[in-house]
């Protein structure tokens, strides 16, 4: 019995775990899971210039990419790719809460700029059930794992990467290509000064919003000078008095 358990964990269970991780954890290269790559591959083939009924599109995904997990899961993934992201790659036409046969799906206009056609020659397609239609990962002009973030749970692991402002990502990529670094700091003092100014700005903004919610009170000018000194001290040391 012990040998059977060891054989099971070293063969079937190990393969299941690997497949579960590949299916549930997004790749750092393109920020997608296998299912999302299958959806995008089908979208590039059928809806680059026109829209398509959601049910028909799901059928194309199943046929073209050997998708085995059911239409409900597929439609949910499509809806997640079409709204609620910093950059939506798909666009669903119609009310989200109605049946899928009444919905149309099309490729978002910006998607074709993120996936450059010249990079298709560099893709390494995986062989699944004798069909090589889905790449191991896409090569994108910006890191989508930072644009839309990544979240996934699999056997023995979990990942969460928050999303970031798309314009900031593009700006930093250009700076990295041109200057070799993400942000220009010649000395550590410049970094501390920038951090201090940012922290002081947000502290004052929070304080002003708090004062606006209170009744207006006429203050002594001497108190304002003293308060300004306290603000600067808090910005440097933090609320708990510990320097950052």
With beta carbons less than 8 A apart as the criterion, state whether 85 and 163 touch.
yes
With beta carbons less than 8 A apart as the criterion, state whether 90 and 111 touch.
yes
Q: Return d(Cα 54, Cα 76) in angstroms, integer.
A: 11
Q: For tokens 């549930």, what's the residue?
A: 24
User: How is residue 143 annotated by DSSP?
Assistant: -
Angle at 233 between CA 232 and CA 237, to 5 degrees: 120
Q: Dihedral (C-alpha) 232, 233, 239, 243: value to the nearest 10 degrees?
A: 120
Angle at 46 between CA 63 and CA 88, to 5 degrees: 105
Where in the sequence numbering do the catalytic residues fall?
102
Angle between helices 54-65 and 71-82 (to 10 degrees): 110
């Amino acid at each position: 019995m012990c040998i059977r358990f060891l054989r099971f964990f070293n063969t079937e269970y190990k393969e299941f775990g690997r497949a579960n991780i590949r299916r549930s954890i997004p790749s750092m290269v393109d920020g997608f899971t296998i299912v999302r790559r299958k959806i995008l591959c089908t979208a590039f083939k059928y809806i680059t210039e026109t829209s398509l009924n959601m049910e028909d599109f799901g059928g194309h995904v199943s046929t073209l990419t050997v998708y085995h997990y059911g239409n409900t899961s597929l439609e949910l993934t499509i809806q997640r790719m079409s709204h609620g992201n910093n950059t939506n790659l798909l666009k669903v036409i119609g009310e989200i809460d109605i049946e899928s046969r009444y919905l149309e799906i099309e490729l978002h206009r910006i998607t074709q700029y993120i996936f450059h056609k010249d990079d298709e020659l560099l893709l390494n397609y995986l062989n699944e059930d004798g069909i090589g239609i889905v790449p191991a990962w896409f090569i994108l002009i910006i890191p989508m794992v930072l644009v839309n973030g990544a979240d996934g749970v699999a056997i023995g692991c979990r990942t969460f990467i928050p999303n970031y402002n798309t314009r900031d990502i593009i700006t930093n990529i250009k700076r990295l290509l041109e200057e070799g670094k993400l942000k220009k700091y010649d000395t550590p003092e410049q970094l501390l000064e920038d951090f201090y100014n940012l922290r002081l700005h947000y502290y004052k903004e929070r304080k002003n919003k708090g004062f606006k919610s209170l009744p207006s009170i006429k203050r002594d000018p001497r108190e304002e000078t003293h308060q300004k000194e306290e603000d600067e001290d808090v910005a440097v040391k933090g609320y708990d008095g510990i320097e950052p």
